[in-house]
C-alpha cells in the first residue's frame, strides 16, 4: 500500500465513516496495511502484537491460511434463505452443540453478539410466559436496543429510558469490595443472598431470565468467586427462571475451554455467542438452546427470524474456524500459554500503578491505580461513556501501542486477549513490551 492510497483511505474515512463510541471530530484511525498471525503493521510500517485480537475475536490470528482457503470454496454452495437447509448451517450447528455443555440441543443463528442477546431475551419471554429480565451491573451485552438494556454500565445510557422489566443486580468484584470475606465461598454467599432477596422482591413468577457473562470481559475480566455461578444456577432452577450465559467474548476457547461455563459444574439454559465462532472472518452469532427450551418450540411457534440467520458464507467460515480449533489444539494452547501469561501478570504486581491482575486462559485484565494503598482508580467510572478527564488511560494505551503492544482499555483495566495461536515465547516478548511501557508511564507520567 503506497502513501497516496493510505492518505485516500484516511480522507474517505474521515469524510464518510461514522465511528462507534466516539466524537467524530477527534477520530484519527490507524490503517492496518498488512497482518499475519498475531501481528499487524500500521501505515508507518510499525509492527504491533495484536494483544486484543482486534475486538477479542481473531482467535485463529490474522490471515490464517486455512480460513483464507475456506473463502475460496464459498461460491460453490448456493446462498439460501433461512427456511432452507444447507450443509454449512447444519454442520456448524452440529459442531457447536457437540462442543457445548451436554444439555444443549439446538442453535438459532444471528448476525452478531448483540442480536444474539436480543433473541435470547425474546426466547426466554416466549418459553416462560414471564417478562422480567435480570442482568448485572458491570456487564456489556451489545449496542442494540435490547442488548443495550441488558448492559450494566454507562454504554446503556444511550438507550435510556429503557425497556420496562429490566432489572440490574451486582457482579462480584472482590478487588473493590469494601467488606472483608474470609473466603471466596463466603463472598459468593453474600452476593447470592442479595440476588435472592432481589428475586423475591421483584416476584419470582414474573422473572423470565437471569443474564450474565460468566466472566465479564470488557468490564475487566472479573473472575467469579468459587461457587457463585453454581449458586445463581440453583436460584434460577428453584424459581423456574432461565439462566442465560453471554459467551460472546468468552466462547470458543478464549478461557481455555470451548465455553467458559465448562470450567464450572453447572449447565445454563441458553448460551449466546458470536466473535470466535468464525474468528471474526465473517459476521455470525447465535443462541444455543438447551433441550428443554428447544422442545418448548416443538409445539409453539418460534416467533422470530432474521434474513441472514445461518448465512451460508458465514456458516462455512464458522465450520472452517471450528476445525482449526481442533486441528491446532487451540484450547490446549490457550490453557498453556495462559499459564505463562498468568505468571507474567503476577510479576506486574511489583509496579506501583498495578492494583490487580486477573486472568483465565488467554483472557486477562490489568487494573491500574493511582495509589496502591487506597486503590484510587486511574480512571474512575464515568456517567459519560469514554470520559477520562485526566486522559491517563488513553496515555498508557497509546504508550503500549508505541512499544508495539496493541490493545484497549475500559475504565482502569487494560484488556489482554491475544489470538489463541500465540506461543509462550511471544507472550513473554509482548509482556516485556508491557513492562517497558509501564515503567516509562510510572516514571514520566504518573509519579
Binding site for ligand PLP (CB under 6 A): 55, 112-114, 117, 140-142, 213, 217-218, 246, 248-249, 274, 285
Output the smallest distance, CB 115 to ligand PLP, in A.
7
C-beta of 277 vs 324, nearer to ligand PLP? 277
- Give the 3-state secondary structure of residue 241: coil
- Give the 3-state secondary structure of residue 341: helix
**What are 324-331's contacts with CB under 8 Å, separation 24+?**
324/60, 324/64, 324/66, 324/67, 324/279, 325/59, 325/60, 325/252, 325/253, 325/258, 325/420, 327/66, 328/60, 328/421, 330/59, 330/60, 330/253, 330/420, 330/421, 331/253, 331/256, 331/257, 331/258, 331/420
Alpha-carbon distances, residue 370 vs 7, 112, 276 (angstroms): 39, 37, 34
C-beta of 153 vs 246, nearer to ligand PLP? 246
Output the smallest distance, CB 116 to ligand PLP, in A.
7
Whole-number Å distance between alpha carbons of 65 and 224 = 37
Whole-number Å distance between alpha carbons of 251 and 100 = 10
C-beta of 117 vs 149, nearer to ligand PLP? 117
Omega before 395 cis (within 30°)? no
Residue number closest to ligand PLP, CB atom: 113
Residue 217 phi, psi (nearest 5): -95, -75
C-beta of 246 vs 356, nearer to ligand PLP? 246
Output the smallest distance, CB 166 to ligand PLP, in A.
15
C-beta of 108 vs 441, nearer to ligand PLP? 108
Which is nearest to 78 in space by CA: 277, 284, 317, 311? 311
Whole-number Å distance between alpha carbons of 395 and 193 = 40
Residues 114/147, Cβ–Cβ less than 8 Å: yes
Output the smallest distance, CB 265 to ligand PLP, in A.
22
Output the smallest distance, CB 425 to ligand PLP, in A.
29
C-beta of 153 vs 446, nearer to ligand PLP? 153
Whole-number Å distance between alpha carbons of 99 and 256 = 13
C-beta of 144 vs 206, nearer to ligand PLP? 144
Q: Which three cell numbers stand for residue 168?
A: 440490574
Output the smallest distance, CB 249 to ligand PLP, in A.
4
Alpha-carbon distances, residue 326 vs 95, 334, 442 (angstroms): 11, 12, 42
C-beta of 250 vs 412, nearer to ligand PLP? 250
Output the smallest distance, CB 150 to ligand PLP, in A.
9
Amino acid at each position: 500500500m503506497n502513501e497516496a492510497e493510505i492518505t485516500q483511505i484516511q480522507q474517505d474515512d474521515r469524510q464518510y465513516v461514522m465511528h462507534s463510541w466516539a466524537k467524530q471530530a477527534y477520530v484519527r484511525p490507524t490503517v492496518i496495511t498488512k497482518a499475519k498471525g498475531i501481528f499487524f503493521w500500521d501505515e508507518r510500517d510499525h509492527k504491533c502484537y495484536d494483544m486484543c485480537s482486534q475486538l477479542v475475536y481473531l482467535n485463529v490470528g490474522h490471515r490464517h491460511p486455512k480460513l483464507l482457503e475456506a473463502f475460496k470454496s464459498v461460491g460453490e454452495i448456493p446462498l439460501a434463505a433461512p427456511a432452507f437447509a444447507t450443509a454449512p448451517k447444519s454442520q456448524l450447528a452440529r459442531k457447536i452443540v457437540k462442543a457445548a455443555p451436554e444439555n444443549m440441543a439446538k442453535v438459532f443463528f444471528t448476525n452478531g453478539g448483540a442480536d444474539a442477546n436480543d433473541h435470547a431475551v425474546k426466547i426466554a419471554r416466549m418459553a416462560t410466559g414471564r417478562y422480567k429480565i435480570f442482568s448485572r451491573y458491570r456487564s456489556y451485552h451489545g449496542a442494540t436496543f435490547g442488548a443495550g438494556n441488558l448492559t450494566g454500565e454507562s454504554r446503556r445510557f444511550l438507550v435510556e429510558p429503557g425497556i420496562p422489566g429490566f432489572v440490574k443486580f451486582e457482579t462480584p468484584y472482590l478487588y473493590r469490595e469494601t467488606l472483608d470475606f474470609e473466603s471466596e465461598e463466603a463472598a459468593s454467599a453474600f452476593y447470592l443472598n442479595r440476588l435472592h432477596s432481589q428475586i423475591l422482591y421483584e416476584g419470582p413468577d414474573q422473572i423470565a431470565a437471569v443474564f450474565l457473562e460468566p466472566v465479564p470481559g470488557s468490564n475487566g475480566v472479573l473472575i467469579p468467586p468459587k461457587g457463585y455461578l453454581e449458586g445463581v444456577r440453583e436460584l434460577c432452577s428453584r424459581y423456574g427462571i432461565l439462566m442465560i450465559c453471554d459467551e460472546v467474548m468468552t466462547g470458543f476457547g478464549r478461557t481455555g475451554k470451548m465455553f467458559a461455563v465448562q470450567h464450572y459444574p453447572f449447565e445454563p439454559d441458553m448460551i449466546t455467542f458470536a466473535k470466535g465462532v468464525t474468528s471474526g472472518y465473517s459476521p455470525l452469532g447465535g443462541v444455543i438452546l438447551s433441550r428443554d427450551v428447544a422442545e418448548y418450540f416443538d409445539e409453539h411457534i418460534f416467533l422470530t427470524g432474521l434474513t441472514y440467520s445461518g448465512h451460508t458464507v458465514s456458516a462455512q467460515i464458522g465450520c472452517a474456524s471450528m476445525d482449526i480449533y481442533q486441528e491446532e489444539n487451540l484450547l490446549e494452547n490457550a490453557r498453556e500459554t495462559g499459564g505463562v501469561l498468568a505468571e507474567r501478570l503476577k510479576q506486574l504486581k511489583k509496579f506501583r500503578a498495578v492494583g490487580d491482575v486477573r486472568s483465565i486462559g488467554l483472557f486477562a485484565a490489568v487494573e491500574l491505580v493511582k495509589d496502591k494503598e487506597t486503590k484510587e482508580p486511574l480512571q474512575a467510572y464515568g456517567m459519560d461513556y469514554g470520559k477520562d478527564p485526566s486522559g491517563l488511560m488513553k496515555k498508557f494505551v497509546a504508550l503500549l501501542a508505541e512499544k508495539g503492544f496493541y490493545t484497549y482499555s475500559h475504565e482502569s483495566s487494560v484488556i489482554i486477549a491475544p489470538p489463541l495461536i500465540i506461543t509462550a515465547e511471544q507472550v513473554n516478548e509482548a509482556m516485556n513490551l508491557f513492562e517497558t511501557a509501564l515503567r516509562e508511564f510510572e516514571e514520566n507520567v504518573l509519579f
